[in-house]
Structure 1
Amino acid sequence: MPFIEESDLLELHKDIDKAQIINERLLDQIKYKNKEIKRNKIQRNVLAGVTGLFLIGALAITSFSAGVSSSTSFENRNNLLVSIDSLEAIKYRMDNLKRKNEELSEVKEFYLAKSFLEKETIYSVQIKSFVDNNLTLTSEALANTMLVKTNPFYSYSLGNFESLAEARSFRYQLVKMGFADAFVASYQDGKRIKIEEPY
Structure 2
Amino acid sequence: MPFIEESDLLELHKDIDKAQIINERLLDQIKFKNKELKRSKIQRNIFAGITAFFLIGGLALTSFTAGLNTSNSLDKQNNNLLVSIDSLDAIKTRIDNLKAQNDELSLVKEFYLAKQFLEKEKIYSVQVKSFVDNNVTLASEALTNTLFVKTNPFYSYSLGTFETLEEARSFRQQLVNLGFEDAFVASYKEGKRIQIEDPY
Query: Does the 8 A contact of 1:122 with 1:186 survive in 2?
Result: yes
* TM-score where L is the length of structure 1: 0.71
Measured in 2, the distance between the counterparts of 1:41 and 1:169 equals 47
Measured in 1, the distance between the counterparts of 2:101 and 2:183 equals 49
- 2:142 aligned residue: none
**Percent identity between the aligned chains?**
56
Q: CA deviation at 1:89?
A: 1.0
- 1:103 aligned residue: 104
Spell out the pairing of 1:54-69 with structure 2 (5 A cutoff): 54-69=54-69
Q: Using a 3 Å threshold, how does the CA distance of structure 1 residues 67 and 15 change in structure 2: closer, same or farther? A: same
Measured in 2, the distance between the counterparts of 1:192 and 1:15 equals 31
Q: Using a 3 Å threshold, how does the CA distance of structure 1 residues 109 and 102 change in structure 2: closer, same or farther? A: same
Q: CA deviation at 1:50?
A: 1.3
Q: CA deviation at 1:161?
A: 4.0
Q: AA paired with 2:192?
A: G
Q: AA paired with 1:87?
A: L
- 1:84 aligned residue: 85
Matched, 1:38 2:56: no
Q: CA deviation at 1:141?
A: 5.0
Query: Does the 8 A contact of 1:147 with 1:155 survive in 2?
Result: yes
Q: CA deviation at 1:67?
A: 1.3
Query: Does the 8 A contact of 1:13 with 1:159 survive in 2?
Result: no
- 1:28 aligned residue: 28
Secondary structure, counterpart of 2:135 in structure 1: coil
Q: CA deviation at 1:79?
A: 1.0
Spell out the pairing of 1:103-182 with structure 2 (5 A cutoff): 103-120=104-121, 121=123, 123-127=125-129, 135=132, 138=133, 140=135, 142-144=137-139, 145-149=148-152, 154=153, 156-159=155-158, 161-163=160-162, 164=168, 168=172, 171-172=175-176, 176=179, 180-182=181-183
Q: CA deviation at 1:167?
A: 6.9
Q: CA deviation at 1:139?
A: 6.0
Q: CA deviation at 1:143?
A: 4.8
Q: Using a 3 Å threshold, how does the CA distance of structure 1 residues 156 and 92 change in structure 2: closer, same or farther? A: closer
Measured in 2, the distance between the counterparts of 1:166 and 1:33 equals 37
Matched, 1:93 2:94: yes
Number of equivalenced pairs: 184
Query: Does the 8 A contact of 2:124 with 2:187 survive in 1?
Result: yes
Query: Does the 8 A contact of 1:122 with 1:160 survive in 2?
Result: no
Query: Does the 8 A contact of 2:128 with 2:159 survive in 1?
Result: no
Q: CA deviation at 1:97?
A: 1.6
Stretches of structure 1 lacking an aligned partner (at least 5 in a row): 129-133
For residues 62-120 of structure 1, give each alpha carbon's deviation from its aligned partner in whole angstroms, at most 9, with x where no partner exists.
Answer: 12221112211111111111111111111111111222222222222111112122334
Q: Using a 3 Å threshold, how does the CA distance of structure 1 residues 87 and 42 change in structure 2: closer, same or farther? A: same
Query: Does the 8 A contact of 2:124 with 2:185 survive in 1?
Result: no
Secondary structure, counterpart of 2:187 in structure 1: strand
